[in-house]
Amino acid sequence: SSLEGAAVSSVRITDVLHEFSDIPGVREDVIQVMLQVKQLRLILHDVDTAHLHLDVRGEGVVTAADIQTPAEVEIVNPELYLFTVDDPSTRLEIDMTVEHGRGYSPAPERSGRLPIGELPVDAIYSPVRRVNWTVGSARVGQSTNFDRLVMEIWTDGTVSPDKAISISSKIMIDHLRYIAGITEETLVIGTEKEVTGSRLTSEAAETPIENLDLSVRVFNSLKRTGITTVGDVLELLEKGDEAVMSIRNFGEKSLDELRQKMQEKGFLQDEKTVE
């Protein structure tokens, strides 16, 4: 769930104001079309958001290959069926917003902040569809008391299974390397630092912001600004609230979330505790 990917987060359909509608001339209703759109598998190159356009005139079967995409967007499954138009006089336009994110983002999370007529879509960002593993006995030379791990990984095609496990391993290493080799002495030193000051070790400062488990909105806003590590976040917070909220799409709720996550992970002291 920590692997990043791209997905359609919202759609706008000609003359459709809500998802419980029929589309004139189209065999499927809005919900059925949105379910198909949700299955689009996309790759974003060097951008966090993009817009797709679909212009349909006349009858016929419409697939993902009919979608007009900018150069930075790649559709991995162009053969995906979207809907069928039965009326030859039909003229239909659909605009889609694609966002980069992690995990799963249900539509209700975005429904309150979208303009009228723009319908939120359940966004499945994770490129990994299924994982299975088995542990069995292995023989090395004459010794048989070894274990063998066999992993099966299914992805959506936007990333290969071997790359998926490689990225996952790096994320796990980033999580574990700060507790590797911890002794009682280092724990005492760490506790003293939390009490006496908020400065971090160089290793902790280099912690990627992916480890903060931020919402997609806050994470993308920071990434676009070039903030990639915990150290960058601390430097930003030291500049004051106005500097933080000058970031595009970053308001008081985003600032509160950022502070809360930093405190939960032990990178920032609670102001009440300090007092």
Inform me whether the pLDDT recorded for 190 exceeds 90: no
User: What mean pLDDT is predicted for residues 25-37?
Assistant: 93
* Both tokens assigned to 177: 């390397």
Inform me whether the pLDDT recorded for 217 exceeds 90: no
**Out of 62-71, 95-104, 202-211, least confident range:** 202-211
Which of the given ranges, 108-112, 129-133, 179-183, 243-247, has the highest pLDDT on average? 129-133
| 229 within 8 A of 212, measured Cβ to Cβ | no
Using CA atoms, how far residue 54 sits from 100, 144, 228, in Å, is 20, 59, 35
Q: Which phi and psi (to 5°) does residue 148 adopt?
A: -125, 130
Domain 4-124 has CATH 3.30.200.20: no
Length of the chain: 275
Q: Which phi and psi (to 5°) does residue 166 adopt?
A: -65, -45
Domain 128-175 has CATH 3.40.570.10: no
Looking at residue 29, its pLDDT comes to: 92
- Residues 30, 215: Cα–Cα separation, whole Å: 28
| pLDDT band at residue 183 under the 50/70/90 scheme | low
119 exposure class (CB count in 10 Å sphere: 0-12, 13-18, 19+):
buried
Which of the given ranges, 83-97, 111-125, 185-199, has the highest pLDDT on average? 83-97
Average pLDDT value over all residues in the chain: 84
CATH class of 184-274: mainly alpha
Looking at residue 60, its pLDDT comes to: 94
Inform me whether the pLDDT recorded for 32 exceeds 50: yes
Inform me whether the pLDDT recorded for 180 exceeds 80: no
Tens-digit pLDDT profile for residues 160-179: 998 898 888 888 887 777 66
Contacts 24+ apart (CB under 8 A), 71-76: 71/45, 72/44, 72/45, 72/46, 72/47, 73/6, 73/42, 73/43, 73/44, 73/45, 73/98, 74/42, 74/43, 74/45, 75/40, 75/41, 75/42, 76/41, 76/42, 76/43, 76/156, 76/157, 76/158
| 230 within 8 A of 262, measured Cβ to Cβ | yes
Looking at residue 273, its pLDDT comes to: 47
Tell me what percent of the residues of the chain surpass a pLDDT of 90.
35
Looking at residue 21, its pLDDT comes to: 85
pTM above 0.75, yes or no: no
Looking at residue 241, its pLDDT comes to: 84
Domains in the chain: boundaries: 4-124, 128-175, 184-274
